[in-house]
Structure formats: C-alpha cells, structure tokens
Amino acid sequence: MEAAGPLRAALWALLLPLLPLVAADEGILHASGSGVPPVTKDYCIIYNSNWVSLPKTLDNATFTPLENLTSTVLCSSAEVPSVALQDKAVVVMRGNCTFLEKARNAQRLGAKMLLIASKSRLSGISDNKTDFEDVTLPIALIRYNDIVDMQLVLGNEVNVTLYSPPLPEFDYSMVVIFLIAVFTVALGGYWSGVAELENLKAVASPGERETRWKKEENVTLTPVTVILFVVICCVMLVLLYFFYKWLVYVIISVFCLASAMSLYNCLAALIGEIPFGQCRITCSNKTIEVRLIFLAIFCIAAAVVWAVFRNEDRWAWVLQDILGVAFCLNFIKTLKMPNFKSCVILLGLLLLYDVFFVFITPFITKNGASIMVEVAAGPFGNSEKLPVVIRVPRLEYSASTLCDLPFSLLGFGDIIVPGLLVAYCRRFDVQTRSSSVYYISCTIAYAVGMVLTFIVLALMKMGQPALLYLVPCTLITSSLIAWRRKEMKKFWKGSSYQMMEHLDYTGNEESTATATEQPGGQ
C-alpha cells in the first residue's frame, strides 16, 4: 500500500476551496501617536456601510483623540467614569446590551466616534437600520488585542480616524498562486508519466507486465473507493466545524508528517540523478546511502521549523508553500487513477462536495455561514489556521490585508483533484505513445479554469469553489481530445482496457503457436 499514507493525509487537503480576496464592510482605523515624528499604525475595523459612509483616502482626514474605556461596556451612562468624552473617540468593550444602546449613550456624552472592542472574532453589525436614525456618530468593531497593541506602540495619547480605501479589482498575489498551481499540476503529471514509462521499460515479458498491473491496483482509486473517499471528506469537514479547536492540531501534526515524507520523496528523486556522493553504510544487513540520511534529517527539520514558527506571517508562508507543493506533487505522482471513469466520478463528486459546503450550507447553519469558509477561516475566532493551503501575501494594500485575510489562499484540493486527471492523461499518453496530446491539453485546460476562477472571484467579491470551474474545463477538454482521436473507449477504460488488449493479443499469439506445432495446424 504505497499510497496509503499520502491518501490519508490528503483527505485534509480537500477541505478548502479558493478563498475570497475581500470581505464586506471592512475598514481601517489609522492611529497616530504623540511622538515626534508621530508614529502611525493601521488596524482593522468592521462597520456597516449602510449606516455610515467612510472616506476613501486619508486626504483631509480629521483626527479625533481616543479615550480608552475598555474597562466598561457603556450599557448605561452611569458606567462611564467622570471623564470628559466631548469630541473624542471612545472605545468600550462589547457587552450584553445592543450596539444601539451603546451608540446613544456615547452620543449623549458628546463622543464623536464609538469603537467597540471584541475579544472574539469580528462579525458584522446587524442591528435594524431604522433604529439608528437618531444616531449620527460612526460605529465600528475593533479587536481588543489591537487596542492593547495601540497603547504599547503609540502610547496613551492617541489620535484616530477612520477610512475605507477602495477594494482592488485584482491582487497580483493571484498571479503567484496561479503559477504555483499550474507548475505543481504540470510537474506532478509529468512525474507520474516518467514513472509509468520506467515501469513499461522495466517489464519485458507478458507475465511480468500482468503482475505489474495487479500491483498497481493497490495504489489506485476504484469507483467504490472514490465514493468512500468523498464520504470521509464530508465527515471530516463536519467534524472540523464542530470540534475545530481540537482537530486543528491533529491536522497540523498530520501535515508535518506527510509533508516531510513528501519533501523527502521529491528531493530523493532529484538526488538519485546525481552520479556522485553515493557512499553507503550498512545497518541491520541493509545498505543506506549517507546522503539520503542527511536528506531525511533536513526534511524533518523543515517540517519541525514550520510547526514551531507557523504563525510567523513574515516568512513562514514560504516554508508552508514549499512543503505544500511537495505534498501535492508526491500525492499526484503516487496515487494512480485506473481509468477516465474513475476520474469522472472523483471530480464530479468532489465538485458537488465543494458546491454544497460553500453555497448550500449557509441555509442550514444557525449563523448563516458557509461551513467550508468557516472552517477555512477558523471558527469562533480560533487563531490556528488549517495548513492545507498555498498562501501568498497580498500585494495590494486594502482593509482586507489588515483583517482576516492578509493572504491569498488556494486549497490543496484544488491542485490535487484536477492533478490526478492530468497525471492520468500523461500516463495514457505514455501507454498509447500519443505525443503528450492529452497531458498538454489537460494542463492548459487547468490553467484556463484557474483564470476563469479568478475572473469570477473578482466580479462576485465572494469565496468561490474553484472546482466549479476547474472540473468542467479539464473533464470536457479531455473528453473532446479522446473523442476527436476516436480513442474514447480506450481512454474511458484505461489500463484495464490496455491489459485486456494485451492479454487477447498474447493469448491469440500462443494459440497460433500451439496450432502450428500440431499436425492439424500445418
């Protein structure tokens, strides 16, 4: 069971779609200290754009002194200490009373701005708009940790202003995401084809070839196992939704183990092509190359370093992406789809899985949130994030950069799932000697699907299940190529069709030889 380890680990990789670049009603609190020159820093806020219109830029911005009242919740005027709030921005804690009560109390005391600090994850302000007709001051939610950071960095005398810069239509980090995804899918498919070619060259006799086919059944997904695989993915996602704060650490551990093994397999394949440095040592009657021992230590160290510094946003994403690409490459190369039929079932079911958990579950959950997006963002404000994504820092500055999504993200599943079809196309090219027409066409179709996903993402401004665009592009393209070349039957049945053709050929050959040896066959 060569693929059993990566198969179990990859179940986690199918949990995430392409995540949104933007979120509604996000703004920026620009804070300035009292030093010379003044130190400034930006913080994320959440506001309701239906109630208040914030300026787009800091041009002609009016700063307001900040009064920190996080020791109160401002549910009544009696809670406010004897301090003048006239023409100040006041920050209070989120309490049991409504935003409307806080706003009226703050306005009654002469405040010009109300900031509500929250220790949990920031969510939208959803009180009835008509109740706020008598409230004129802007209201916004801010993280409590940001208020603490503000005092540490800027001091006790802070002036603040609010603004909401226009959201970029396109972030160039998506170009990096695109290149990583296409490169991984193309290389994974090519690597799978190289392995197939080596197997065909190594097998000389029909008996050995039949043995090889039987052996490959242990690393393939049959239609039954495909269905089981998707069911397990659904169960895991639901369990993550309800038990995220415990299971996230299980997934982090699995990712470290699986990515270290995958990185070792990828680098070992490259080192194997180097003709020098092949000295060996004997251990338990087995000889091991010394360079592979050092390689294993390096791969384990890389995974451990990532685990320790995984929340370091400045550089940990680079290591996560390297480990993630290695994981995807190893999985695409190791797990072999036996035929196009299994590919259609796998991609079709995972497409339904993606769409259901992104678009349908908001009608089922109590808070109206998508289970997929909730799990991806970390339910209930959990600071730990699932590591099964490729992430690149956003290059265009906006409120979203400060809020929940400072990175552009792409789930491993959006690479692995179409990558398995690309790998099958490459192996089919090798088996039929078709000059890589299936492989190249399917890879280009994947790239087109990614571009289409980005376009829809930019237009709709909301999270998109990438498989909704990748699956039709790759499946339809592969089908059209097979139909145009009049190889659909062979392409649909895959290696089983090849094996039957080969057995029929060798069987007929043996019958002919037997008949020739008998007198009646002369």
Residue 15 · residue 233 · CB < 8 Å: yes
Q: Give the pLDDT mean for 60-89.
A: 81
Long-range interactions of 284-287: CB distance < 8 A, separation 24+? none
Does 84 reside within a domain? yes
Tell me if 289 is assigned to some domain. Answer: no
Unique residue bearing structure tokens 């990175």: 407
CA 519 to each of CA 57, 298, 394, 506: distance values in angstroms, whole numbers, following the listed order: 98, 68, 81, 22
* Contact in structure between 406 and 313 (CB atoms under 8 Å): yes
Q: Are residues 96 and 151 in the same domain?
A: yes
Q: Using the 3D structure, point to which of 163, 191, 221 is the last residue of a domain.
A: 163
Q: Could you tell me if 238 and 103 lie in one domain?
A: no
Task: Note the pLDDT tens digit of each residue in 434-452.
Answer: 888 999 999 999 999 999 9
CA-CA distance, 239 to 170, in Å (whole number)?
34
Highest mean pLDDT among 61-70, 84-93, 282-291, 416-425: 416-425
Average pLDDT over residues 190-205: 79
The reply to whether 90 and 156 lie within a common domain is yes
Same domain, 154 and 176: no
Q: Which among 7, 21, 6 has a CA at the least distance from the CA of 391?
A: 21
In a shared domain, residues 181 and 99: no
304 assigned to some structural domain: no
Range of the domain at 87: 26-163
Q: Do the domain assignments include residue 59?
A: yes
More confident residue, 106 or 21: 106
Q: What is the CA radius of gyration of the chain?
A: 29
Q: Are residues 120 and 214 in the same domain?
A: no
327 pLDDT higher than 70: yes
Q: How far apart are CA 89 and CA 394, in angstroms?
A: 30
Task: Please give the Cα distance from 224 to 47 (Å, whole number).
Answer: 49
Q: Is 17 left (phi over 0), alpha (psi -120 to 50) or beta?
A: beta
How many domains would you assign to the chain? 2
Closest of 344, 377, 353 to residue 466, by C-alpha? 353
Is 258 a domain residue? no
In whole angstroms, what is the distance from residue 45 CA to residue 135 CA?
A: 19
Asked, for residue 40, whether it belongs to a domain, the answer is: yes
Name the band, by pLDDT with cuts 50, 70 and 90, for residue 261.
very high
What mean pLDDT, rounded, does the chain reach?
81
Query: Which token pair is 496?
Result: 């089983």
| Residues 80, 205 within the same domain | no
> Which one of 145, 163, 181 terminates a domain?
163
pTM: 0.77
pLDDT digits (tens, 9 = 90+) for 94-108: 878 888 888 888 888
Angle at 432 between CA 188 and CA 446, to 5 degrees: 35
- Same domain membership, residue 425 and residue 379: yes
Confidence of residue 118 (pLDDT cuts 50, 70, 90): confident
- The CATH number given to whatever domain includes residue 124 is 3.50.30.30
Residues 197 and 157 in one domain: no
Q: What confidence tens digit (pLDDT) does each residue in 348-385 have?
A: 999 999 889 888 888 888 777 788 877 876 765 566 88
* 193 shares a domain with 116: no
Give the active site residues: 354, 414
Determine, yes or no, domain membership for 131.
yes
Instruction: Mark whether 72 and 213 lie in a shared domain.
Output: no
The answer to whether 407 and 394 are in contact (CB under 8 A) is yes
At residue 50, φ and ψ (nearest 5 deg) are: -75, -20
| Any domain includes 517 | no
Of 107-116, 181-190, 299-308, 511-520, where does mean pLDDT reach its minimum? 511-520
> Measuring CA to CA, which residue among 135, 192, 141 is closest to residue 330?
192
Q: End-to-end alpha-carbon separation of the chain, Å?
A: 49
User: Do residues 454 and 344 both lie within one domain?
Assistant: yes
Question: Is 386 in contact with 248 (CB distance < 8 Å)?
Answer: yes
